[in-house]
Amino acid sequence: MTQDRHGRYRFLAGAILPALALYAVFVLSPYAQAFYLSLTDWTGVSGQVNFVGLDNFTRLFGDPLFLAALRNNGLMLLVVPVVTIALGLLLAVLVTFGGRRGSAIRGASTYQTAYFFPQLLSLPIIALLWQFVYHPNDGLLNGLLRGIGLDGLARTWLGDPHLALWAVMAVLVWSSVGFYMVLFAAAMGSIPAELIEAATLDGAGRLTTLWRIVLPLLRDTVQVAFVYLGVLALDGFAVVQVMTVGPGGPDNATEVMGLGLYRNAFTFSKFGYAAAMGVTLFFLTLTLAVLAMRAGRRERVELA
Amino acid sequence: MNPSSQLRRYPTRRAVLGAAVAGAALPVLGGCVTGGEDDTAEAASGAKTAENPLGVPDKTPLEVVIFKGGYGDEYAVNAESLYKQRYPGATVDHKGIQKVGEALQPRFVADTPPDVVDNTGAGRLDLATLVGAGKLSDLADLLDAPSLDDPAKKVRDTLLPGVVDDGTFDNKVQTLNFTYTVWGLWYSKPLFDKHGWTFPTTWDAMLALCEQIKKAGVAPWTYQGKYPEYLNDPLLAMAAKAGGPDLVKAVDNLEPNAWKQPGLVDAASAIAELAGKGYILSGSEALSHTEAQAAWSQSQVAIIPCGSWLEAEQKGITPDGFDMVMAPAPALSSGDKLPQTALQGASSESFIVPAKAKNPRGGLEFLRILFSTTAAKRFAELNSTMPSVAGALEGLTLSSGLGSVKTAVDAAGPNTFTYRFRTWYAPLAKAVDDATGELATRRITPAQWSDRVQKAADAVATDTAVKKYQR
């Protein structure tokens, strides 16, 4: 018996330890180093490191660039997840229940594939494509506006501090909405047909069914989507770095924390300070995830 | 069914666990990235002779890392083959890469750097930081060694004016720049001839010309709006001409109110005027350098500010007969302290020999070969770019752009100037770029421009964590 149990533990340990070791080396140790470096003035090339305590963190909150980044990431956090989820839900509902008598519309999978496409492109490529779209003189967007006679609406999208961040957010939404549509549509597909039928028999209209039956059953999926999109909104580095003026401009209108971190590390050679930004971002993301999970904690409906 | 219930606590638990382990492992793992300070590498060296003044060991391999950007790396391969001819026993390990910083940062930390590095490109390592950390060799031995072409002349005396200064940090020459870049305003000569325009030498004449150009249906100016530093160059050049070397020094030495000197405010006003009169192609503020330069190459725009690399950069898309020409920025007024022909010029393409290289003598010798007339001429031919070696362009057939650059450099003579704050204080450079972007879109006034930049300069001046330089 004891022998047997030992054997089993040995087997389990053999299965788990290599993975744990990889995780410790490639995930935990960089984290630990980042925490340590955030308390130093490491320049990135020197072996010499001075411990500076919380000095980097004190500086952070007097750094106008970092405060601008906080503000911009905050706005993105308010806008990107809500808009993406709303659009994703709308498209998922249209595809799944938009057909006759509440069935899936014809060619549903074609739509899903088409909307999913942006997910297959890497973010820098998306950012580059959108930079062409936003080109003030030869861009698709201004070309379209001028083509339909709305010349007055044509703008220098990425050159105007009031519009640039919105232009960035539009790209983030565009690039992720397809994925969440597919996710929501899959979750909707797994709602038992009897539930919908029962509601219809009870005289519920399409909107009522949607509002009272479908959406409540999607709560968990939406919650997870919110966490992921929140993390995306706190990042935004790739799109901002490739697409915007400066990058991060004009005049820091699109500055995000990730960009500040990158610039401080690789342009200004202040790795310690950059690590402090990373640590701050880590705790912000963690707080967001915890809050989002707590806020949505409710009684769960068990199906089937 | 409830796939997400599995996910529910997952991120939190992982993160908490991560944080806990991180805390425990901190002292152990913390050492990894920053360790390895105290091993003293044994640098190889050979006997010093007239043929081998730097004492290069014949059998020791040489590792060369070259930034493979606009200039490619063929010129370096050429210099390496010259090295192998002189030291047949040595193997040369050549690496032509783009992200120099990302590739070499860990090697500098571990003190296992290559023997010679072309530390250039957007992803380069910050030179001031390398200097501050004592990671670079003093190049004095190289500068005082006889040059390859004429043993009676030291390497130091074969370089263009300013090159040794550009590489000097803390009174030691720690980098040597291989190319000589000048900044100015570019136009197509045939386009100007066709309309009977002449390139102006004063700012008033510039404004008058812009009016004419605009009437002809061409946008007078554009700039690489996505990177406003391009527009800083004419602005700072005009300021330097107005205020002379003292203005430049005050700026670089972070003197109080340096950015409020009349020359700088006037130059900022000039740029603002250009924008205010509608002489800048609309939408320029959002154009990348390729987009703005393409519009200029297609003659949608008459004038663009750029450094002397422009001709090489536009090689693929310049129409036949475009014949681009560079002119120095106009003079703000007749009271300018420097002549209008004065030129903003600086050497770049920074070559360093790491202090902990295995074969530092070989690294120095590679540079002695690279900075010889033969190798520099080859570079000029390959890239239509001016090397920082004096006389390297003599006897070559020059393209329109490079020819105009040579003319401008000859005309400027000793009157060249360069600002050092960009390399010394990167955060200040960013503040200037941001402010100039706002100035060119008229979202701030010239007075606000100088206030903002002064504030940023003061912040750098009072920051005790920033190493200060003086000139």
**B371: amino acid identity, one letter:** F
Q: Do A159 and B441 touch (CB under 8 A)?
A: yes
Residue B52 dihedral angles phi and psi, to the nearest 5°: -130, 70
Label residue B112 exposed, middle or buried (CB < 10 Å: 0-12, 13-18, 19+): middle
Q: How many CB atoms lie within 10 A of CB B88?
A: 8
Distances (CA, A) of A195 to A61, A95, A214, B156: 53, 19, 9, 87
> How far separated are the first and last CA of chain B, in Å rounded?
72
CA distance A27 to chain B (A): 8
CA distance A188 to A103: 11
Which one of A141, A188, A269 makes the best mutation probe of the B interface by having the most chain B beta carbons within 10 Å?
A269
Average pLDDT of adjacent 10-residue blocks, chain A of 304 residues: 71 90 92 91 80 89 91 95 94 82 77 86 92 92 91 90 95 94 90 84 83 86 91 92 90 93 88 93 91 72 56
Q: In this structure, which amino acid lies at residue B283?
A: G
Residue pair B323/B188 in contact (Cβ under 8 Å)? The answer is: yes
A167 at interface of B, judged by CB pairs closer than 8 A: no
Q: What is the pLDDT of residue A262?
A: 93
More confident residue, A294 or B197: B197
Say if residue B438's pLDDT is above 90: yes
E-strand ranges in B245-382 read 301-307, 324-327, 343-352
Task: State the smallest CA–CA distance between residue A290 and chain B in angstroms.
Answer: 7
Dist CA A92 CA A234 (whole Å): 25
State pLDDT tens for residues B2-33. 333 333 333 333 443 344 444 344 334 444 45
> A30: cis peptide before it, omega within 30°?
no
pLDDT in tens, A81-96: 999 999 999 999 888 8
CA distance A260 to A71: 13
CA distance linking residue B247 with residue B260, whole number of Å: 10
Query: Helices A164-189 and A64-97, interaxial angle, to 10°?
Result: 40
Distance in angstroms (rounded) separating the CA atoms of residues B135 and B117: 12
* Model pLDDT, residue B391: 84
pLDDT of residue A101: 66
Residue A3, pLDDT score:
58
What number is the average pLDDT over the span B102-128? Answer: 89
Neighbouring-strand partners of residue B303: B221
- Please name the helix (run of DSSP H) or strand (run of DSSP E) that holds residue B211, with its range, or none: helix B203-215
Closest residue of chain A to B34, computed from CA coordinates: A47
Quick one: CA dihedral A105, A106, A111, A112, positive or negative? positive
Percent of chain B past pLDDT 70, that is, above it, reads: 91
Per-residue model confidence (pLDDT) at position B313: 84
B183-345+419-462 maps to which CATH number?
A: 3.40.190.10
Say whether pLDDT at B174 is over 90. Answer: yes
Superfamily for A57-295? MetI-like (1.10.3720.10)
User: Does the structure show a pLDDT above 60 at B292?
Assistant: yes
* A-chain residues near B281 (CB < 8 A): 137
Q: Give pLDDT, residue B34.
A: 55
> Per-residue pLDDT tens for B447-460?
999 999 999 999 99
**H helix runs in A98-138, sequence order:** 108-116, 123-133
Q: Give CA A236 to chain center in angstroms.
A: 8
The per-residue pLDDT for B421 is: 93
Q: pLDDT of B332-388, one tens digit each? A: 998 899 999 999 998 889 999 999 999 999 999 999 999 999 999 999 888 888 999
Question: What CATH class is the domain B62-181+346-408?
Answer: alpha beta
Specify the range with the lowest mean pLDDT, choosing from A46-50, B99-103, B109-113, B435-439.
Answer: A46-50
pLDDT value for A132: 93
Measured CA distances, B206 to B199, B274, B294 (Å): 8, 9, 23
Question: Do A267 and A47 touch, CB atoms closer than 8 A?
Answer: no
Q: Where are the domains of chain A?
A: 57-295
- CATH 3.40.190.10 in chain B, residue ranges: 62-181+346-408, 183-345+419-462
User: Mean per-residue pLDDT for B50-74?
Assistant: 88
Collapsing DSSP to helix, strand or coil, B290 comes out as helix
Q: Which of residues 120-179 of B touch A (CB under 8 A)?
A: 123, 125-126, 128-130, 132-135
Tokens representing B446 are 């010239």
